[in-house]
């Protein structure tokens, strides 16, 4: 989403301690609210969080809105909403707060100052056996300990800190209150396998003037550990693609079969690696770049519809993953269960990287936890843009696919780009902004292989049971005369509604939105008006039932609408126009700039995190919207289509 849509509470540090106090307070709160004492993610509920959800499940009542939005409007009236402090770039990624250009290494001599020991940092264990290992970091020997002192994780170990941003960091005083008394303490990091040895660096001077004073190294035992599995559909419903990451395995393959004890089929994988030279500029070609590993993908062919298959991926020389399973594409008449999300991002389960509100997607930890809990009963995951919020920091892609793997390894993960994956000036996108941090869609396209018509052509369609999904890109030209428009029109013209009576269209930026962002070429209202002008005639002409978008970090539902007017339902209860959902509440900082009073087409809006679930039969499309506070429903509605 754009910077104008979210208030950024906290800015560049103006003094040595005040903003660090805010950061430490936030760090402690996040740890207390999200994490259990053992470091595992807590099942947070309303007793732990500010009251945020008023449960209402209307189907046709006038607009209903939750209490926190009304409170926000009282604190920040609409005329002040756009005056809230914002960061013009790096809004969502806390690594932008680290001033790499000013970073220096200063290794003090032993016994300096008052005769005390030199700063020291130690880590246990010092070998990473597998991704996701928890380590304990201990430090001592800091004279005049300060709130600005922190511990950073660098990839690779020994990286030039003046050229490379850390993968994450935690302030010493926030992790161990004893630090301010005696200059020593401990903290815990959860480390994933970045395929290179990892440096644990003790840093002074804060994020603006960082001075490294000590380092310990963690050796990565298996750089080719097969990780970050996610599935995807191809253009053939009898196929499934398995994608994963390792360092440089030379003979990658998938072993698979129809029973967990007999993985006697093999699918050889193709491999590809990208570098900073493939990117377009900014953070992605400078301090954010860390070797991204090698991406592998293999296609399993000859699958029977609706049958469960088991698979393991890896390399004979380096080892294989534990077995996982998925269900092949359903028959058209089958009832299907689908998970829906957007604007998720990734969070650190150890509470690292908290520097200011809305700069890390901590809520995504609860969203992905609940998605994983739901996964056994679902067969498809849709993610419509703003995937990892890496913004050029390549380690963040590793973090995201580690976090989403428990879901995406069990079902096809079908995605389209958002502004934070694709947008960069002069690269052929629709919006000339720098939201991707210089990635310009490269990292996303190499890591998320969809059944596209060609490179950087992010539009495709597929059937899933009784539902036809049309996925398109709001970050590429979509007006009449564009290649994407022609694809959309042709696809809608040729749908067999006898096989797939439901049509769902998905992209990133919303077609209908309650937002005060109305200035600037890529602001919410300007973009939604352009999308309506280009695409709404097609949606109405071809009887699209539902659209799924994100970008605005809220949940919103319209009435069945066309031309901004509610169209109602026919005598059989079928909607006379598409219902538009904004499901951008997947984990990124919430958007506080909804309109008040709300637009007449809006039926429900919620200012809290979560995701949606779809249950579709040939005659009914049932949507549930889940709060990630406690798994309760934020909204629920049904669309019906009488059988003819």
Q: What is the CATH number of the domain that holds 300?
A: 2.60.40.380
Question: Which carries the bigger pLDDT value, residue 347 or residue 25?
Answer: 347
Give 203's pLDDT tier (boundaries 50, 70, 90).
very high
191 and 168 within one domain: yes
CA–CA dist 91, 289 (Å, integer): 19
* Owner of token pair 């352009």: 530
261 and 211 within one domain: no
**Residue that terminates a domain, selected from 329, 350, 380:** 329
Confirm if 341 and 583 have CB atoms less than 8 A apart: yes
Structural domain contains residue 194: yes
Mean pLDDT of 274-298: 98
258 and 210 within one domain: no
pLDDT confidence of residue 113: 41
In the structure encoding, which two tokens stand for residue 489, read together?
Answer: 């029109």
pLDDT value at 276 more than 80: yes
The region of weakest confidence among 36-40, 150-154, 179-183 is 36-40
Structural domain contains residue 311: yes
Structural domain contains residue 345: no
Structural domain contains residue 571: no
247 and 194 within one domain: no
CA–CA dist 297, 230 (Å, integer): 10
CA–CA dist 216, 432 (Å, integer): 42
Structural domain contains residue 570: no
What is the residue-averaged pLDDT of the chain?
87
pLDDT confidence of residue 77: 33
**Residue that terminates a domain, selected from 329, 360, 375:** 329
Label residue 477 exposed, middle or buried (CB < 10 Å: 0-12, 13-18, 19+). middle
* Owner of token pair 């609940």: 370
pLDDT confidence of residue 600: 98
Among candidates 405, 422, 425, which has minimal Cα distance to 508? 422
148 and 120 within one domain: yes
Quick: pLDDT tens for 125-167.
Answer: 999 999 999 999 999 999 999 999 999 999 999 999 999 999 9
Give 110's pLDDT tier (boundaries 50, 70, 90).
very low
Among candidates 550, 589, 606, which has minimal Cα distance to 10? 589
286 and 210 within one domain: no
pLDDT value at 508 more than 90: yes
Label residue 569 exposed, middle or buried (CB < 10 Å: 0-12, 13-18, 19+). middle
Tell me how many domains the chain contains. Answer: 2
* Owner of token pair 């879901």: 407
pLDDT confidence of residue 355: 74
216 and 102 within one domain: yes
Question: Which carries the bigger pLDDT value, residue 278 or residue 106?
Answer: 278
Give 359's pLDDT tier (boundaries 50, 70, 90).
low
3-state SS class at 79: helix
pLDDT value at 56 more than 70: no
3-state SS class at 460: strand
**How many other β-carbons are positioned within 10 Å of the β-carbon of residue 110?**
11
pLDDT confidence of residue 442: 98
Residues near 233 by Cβ (< 8 Å), separated by ≥ 6? 239, 240, 241, 329, 412, 414, 451, 462
Among candidates 525, 505, 523, 504, which has minimal Cα distance to 513? 525
276 and 192 within one domain: no
Among candidates 38, 120, 156, 144, which has minimal Cα distance to 395? 156
Quick: pLDDT tens for 560-592.
Answer: 999 999 999 999 999 999 999 999 999 999 999
CA–CA dist 11, 14 (Å, integer): 8
In sequence order, what are the beta bridge partners of 207?
none
pLDDT value at 58 more than 90: no
Count Cα neighbours of 96 within 13 Å in the Cβ-side half-sphere.
Answer: 23
The region of weakest confidence among 77-81, 185-189, 591-595, 639-643 is 77-81
pLDDT confidence of residue 575: 98
3-state SS class at 380: strand
* CATH number for the domain that contains residue 126: 2.60.40.1930
The region of weakest confidence among 37-41, 46-50, 459-463, 614-618 is 46-50
Residues near 112 by Cβ (< 8 Å), separated by ≥ 6? 118
Structural domain contains residue 16: no
Q: Largest Cα–Cα distance of the chain, in whole Å?
A: 88
311 and 205 within one domain: no
pLDDT value at 629 more than 60: yes
Quick: pLDDT tens for 368-421.
Answer: 999 999 999 999 999 999 999 999 999 999 999 999 999 999 999 999 999 999
The rounded percent of the chain whose pLDDT value lies above 70 is 83
209 and 244 within one domain: no
CA dihedral 503, 505, 506, 507 (to 10 degrees): 170
Structural domain contains residue 393: no
pLDDT confidence of residue 111: 41
CA–CA dist 366, 627 (Å, integer): 9
User: Is residue 618 left, alpha or beta, with left meaning phi > 0 and alpha meaning psi from -120 to 50?
Assistant: alpha
CA–CA dist 448, 231 (Å, integer): 9
pLDDT value at 40 more than 70: no
Structural domain contains residue 152: yes
CA–CA dist 567, 60 (Å, integer): 12
234 and 211 within one domain: no
Confirm if 424 and 282 have CB atoms less than 8 A apart: yes
pLDDT confidence of residue 354: 79
Backbone angles phi, psi at 172, to 5 degrees: -60, -45
pLDDT confidence of residue 249: 76
Range of the domain at 258: 228-329
Mean pLDDT of 614-641: 97
**Residue that terminates a domain, selected from 185, 220, 255:** 220
Find which of 30-34, 69-73, 640-644 is predicted with most confidence, using mean pLDDT. 640-644
262 and 203 within one domain: no
């Amino acid at each position: 989403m754009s910077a104008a849509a979210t208030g950024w509470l906290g800015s560049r540090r103006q003094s040595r301690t005040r903003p660090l106090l805010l950061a430490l307070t936030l760090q402690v709160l996040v740890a207390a609210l999200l994490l259990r004492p053992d470091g595992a993610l807590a099942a947070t509920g309303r007793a732990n969080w500010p009251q945020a959800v008023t449960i209402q499940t209307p189907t046709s009542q006038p607009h209903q809105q939750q209490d926190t939005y009304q409170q926000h409007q009282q604190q920040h009236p609409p005329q002040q909403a756009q005056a809230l402090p914002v960061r013009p770039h790096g809004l969502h990624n806390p690594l932008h707060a680290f001033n790499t250009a000013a970073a220096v290494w200063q290794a003090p001599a032993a016994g300096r100052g008052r005769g005390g020991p030199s700063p020291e940092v130690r880590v246990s264990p010092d070998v990473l056996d597998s991704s996701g290992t928890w380590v304990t970091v201990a430090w001592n020997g800091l004279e005049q300990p300060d709130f600005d002192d922190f511990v950073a994780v660098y990839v690779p170990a020994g990286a030039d800190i003046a050229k490379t941003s850390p993968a994450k960091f935690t302030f010493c005083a926030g992790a161990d209150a004893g630090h301010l008394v005696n200059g020593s303490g401990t903290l815990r990091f959860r480390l994933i396998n970045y395929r290179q040895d990892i440096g644990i660096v003790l840093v002074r001077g804060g994020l603006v003037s960082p001075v490294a004073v000590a380092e310990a190294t963690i050796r990565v035992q298996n750089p080719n550990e097969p990780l970050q599995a996610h599935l995807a559909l191809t253009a053939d419903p009898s196929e499934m693609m398995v994608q994963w990451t390792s360092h440089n395995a030379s003979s990658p393959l998938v072993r698979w079969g129809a029973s967990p004890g007999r993985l006697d089929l093999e699918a050889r994988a193709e491999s590809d690696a990208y570098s900073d030279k493939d990117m377009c500029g900014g953070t992605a070609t400078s301090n954010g770049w860390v070797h991204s590993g090698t991406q592998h993908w293999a296609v399993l062919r000859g699958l029977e519809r609706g049958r469960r298959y088991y698979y393991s991926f890896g390399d004979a020389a380096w080892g294989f993953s534990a077995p996982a399973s998925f269900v092949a594409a359903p028959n058209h008449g089958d009832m299907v269960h689908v998970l829906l999300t957007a604007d998720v991002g990734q969070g650190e389960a150890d509470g690292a990287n908290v520097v200011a509100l809305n700069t890390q997607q901590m809520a995504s930890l609860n969203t992905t936890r609940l998605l994983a809990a739901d996964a056994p009963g679902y067969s498809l995951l849709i993610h419509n843009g703003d995937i990892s919020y890496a913004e050029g920091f390549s380690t963040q892609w590793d973090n995201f696919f580690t976090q989403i793997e428990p879901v995406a390894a069990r079902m096809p993960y079908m995605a389209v780009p958002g502004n934070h994956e694709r947008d960069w000036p002069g690269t052929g996108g629709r919006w000339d902004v720098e939201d991707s941090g210089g990635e310009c869609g490269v990292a996303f396209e190499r890591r998320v292989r969809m059944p596209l018509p060609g490179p950087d052509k992010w539009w495709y369609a597929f059937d899933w049971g009784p539902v036809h999904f049309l996925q398109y890109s709001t970050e590429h030209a979509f007006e009449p005369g564009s290649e994407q428009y022609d694809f959309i029109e042709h696809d809608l013209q040729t749908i067999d509604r006898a096989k797939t009576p439901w049509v769902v269209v998905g992209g990133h930026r919303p077609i209908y939105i309650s937002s005060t962002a109305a200035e600037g070429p890529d602001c919410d209202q300007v973009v939604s008006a352009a999308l309506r002008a280009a695409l709404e005639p097609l949606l109405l002409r071809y009887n699209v039932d539902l659209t799924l978008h994100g970008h605005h970090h809220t949940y919103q539902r319209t009435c069945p609408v066309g031309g901004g007017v509610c169209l109602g339902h026919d005598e059989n209860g079928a909607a006379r126009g598409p219902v538009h959902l904004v499901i951008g509440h997947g984990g990124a900082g919430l958007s506080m700039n909804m309109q008040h009073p709300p637009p007449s087409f809006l039926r429900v809006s919620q200012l809290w995190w979560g995701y949606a679930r779809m249950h579709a039969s040939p005659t009914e499309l049932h949507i549930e919207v889940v709060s990630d506070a406690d798994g309760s429903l934020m909204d629920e509605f049904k669309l019906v289509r009488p059988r003819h």
